[in-house]
Structure 1
């Protein structure tokens, strides 16, 4: 065990998306829809989609290398790798393969599943390892290839999702730049957003077992909208309280990129001006656990988010789960 650390800093970021993209006009050739219909209801105009040859490991490794370089450390310095994903290449876990491809020989690696809240849940999980002094350098990845599990004949869901990966490096620091957080779950509404196992009966000797795969994504869009608009401002408020901050202290709101209407409604309830709300869904759509770090990385690399800026990050989705963190970017 390392010496106890008093805090942590988020010191590096990176992101990656598949090369191919499908815009709304292309999607309108698959299902009955239009660019105007999709954009006006979601804010989405395009999404990146993985080819059969591209894996979650591929984009996660690319995003991770960017984050490691940004933090100015080497892969061998990493103590822990957390992969937040709902779409692993291997149900037994994908983080270990990322560890090997990065050359992070010292790092412990595991998958974490909390759907679109995964990155926020992962950040809080990583913080506990750092704050207790167990690990000093943690790589947190949010990555999903949701196109694998979309019903491309269902226009209610296929218009929403894209593929991508984002990563951050979190390091032990004398000052604590993760100022506050709040995580919540409500399993009574788990059936509102699913990527569920679909068993098929298989006779086996004198009994029958279930074997099969997973059904495509199903979602009650109206219920998820109502849930997000109500619960996300609440959880951000609670995280701000724990951080000893107010809404006025926040420089940027980086939410899960699910729907522009949700972003607008949450910002309105928090009385946050539109210029403080980060949105990249027009290009990427809903990339689940990847959406927050994808958006964060773009703003940092464009120079809009600066060292010391206070960021409210909020995720919400299947489970149902939701949460928020308040942190300062950089050392």
Structure 2
């Protein structure tokens, strides 16, 4: 479970599209009485990507902010990893679209996409840590840009009311450490149909789209059963992580900060109680930004860093679940 941590986050950035959608507007879209979205889902506002903004422009804003925060230039970036769930086009990769938009300064930097829905940023950090062990990379840029509201099913208010759009980016620097990096990742594919989009791939190609099948091309979630599965499977994984952390950290669990995937207000609060972390070290903004899929966690990292809520060298756990059903956690020192 544990290997050496080989990086430090030296820059972060986030971007929220200009259009703000209130809970009252969501009530109208999902055809519910005024106040339904806030009372049932706990979401007050979120942002929506509408023209002329695109997921590429959002991602580039976040990238520029992260690079400026890191104090480096494009000549210092050795790798770009996009971990978004949203796709600007099926081919080529999102990361190449960001590079094209940025222009000549970014030419030649290798670009890839790494997709694991809501867990994308956790896996991108773990992947980057492994790349740094080769000694071939100095700086890796991770970006997630999500336009989730384009793909929600407004006939399913419990799901559609949770999501929001936005982008976030991180700059990781090769920095060998004496600290262990703890990582766990589990998939239980018997539950894969609990979160899905049937249309758009090989299973149901986009060229077969018909207007009366529109819902098959939108996000579908059995929220009640996803919650039940997570409630059963997530606590044992987190407990193992905490035990492994305690084996090598004399300060105990009392300094550990946690950023969960911003799935829903009710879900993140229940997870906090289960893992027994006080609110001042458990960082959440889902009521204001909604579930930003893979951008949720790096956006929260940017918030806590720039609000000075995360002390230097503080241990940080990133935690979440995703379609699959998958769950993952990573603990490293900030």
CA offsets, 1:250-277, max 9 Å, x none? Answer: 4321000011222122111212112221
CA offsets, 1:263-311, max 9 Å, x none? Answer: 1221112121122211111111111000011112112112212321211
Contact kept, 8 Å, 1:181 with 1:242, in 2: the verdict is no
Shift of 1:177: 5.7
Q: What secondary structure does 1:28 align onto?
A: helix
Shift of 1:33: 2.8
CA offsets, 1:21-64, max 9 Å, x none? Answer: 11111122222335643334433111101103322111111111
Residues 193-204 of structure 1 correspond to what in structure 2 (within 5 A)? 193-197=195-199
Equivalence for 2:94: 94
145-154 vs 285-294, greater mean Cα deviation: 145-154
CA offsets, 1:122-174, max 9 Å, x none? Answer: 11111111122232210011221111111223212221111111111111113
Residues 300-315 of structure 1 correspond to what in structure 2 (within 5 A)? 300-315=305-320
Residues 150-165 of structure 1 correspond to what in structure 2 (within 5 A)? 150-165=152-167
> Whose strand fraction is larger, Structure 1's or Structure 2's?
1
C-alpha distance 130-241 of structure 1, shift in aligned 2 (>3 A) = farther
C-alpha distance 232-12 of structure 1, shift in aligned 2 (>3 A) = farther
Note the aligned Cα RMSD (angstroms).
2.5
Contact kept, 8 Å, 2:27 with 2:35, in 1: the verdict is no
C-alpha distance 97-226 of structure 1, shift in aligned 2 (>3 A) = same
1:59 and 2:58 matched: yes
Shift of 1:187: 1.5
Q: State the distance in 1 between where 2:237 and 2:203 align.
A: 42
299-308 vs 284-293, greater mean Cα deviation: 299-308
Contact kept, 8 Å, 1:87 with 1:144, in 2: the verdict is yes
C-alpha distance 233-141 of structure 1, shift in aligned 2 (>3 A) = farther
Unmatched 5+ stretches in structure 2: 210-215
C-alpha distance 178-263 of structure 1, shift in aligned 2 (>3 A) = farther
Equivalence for 2:9: 10
> Whose helix fraction is larger, Structure 1's or Structure 2's?
2
Q: State the distance in 2 between where 1:27 and 1:169 align.
A: 34
Q: State the distance in 2 between where 1:181 and 1:201 align.
A: 32
Candidates 283, 290, 312, aligned match of 2:288: 283
Shift of 1:226: 1.7
Equivalence for 1:128: 130
TM-score under structure 1 length normalisation: 0.88
Q: State the distance in 2 between where 1:64 and 1:39 align.
A: 32
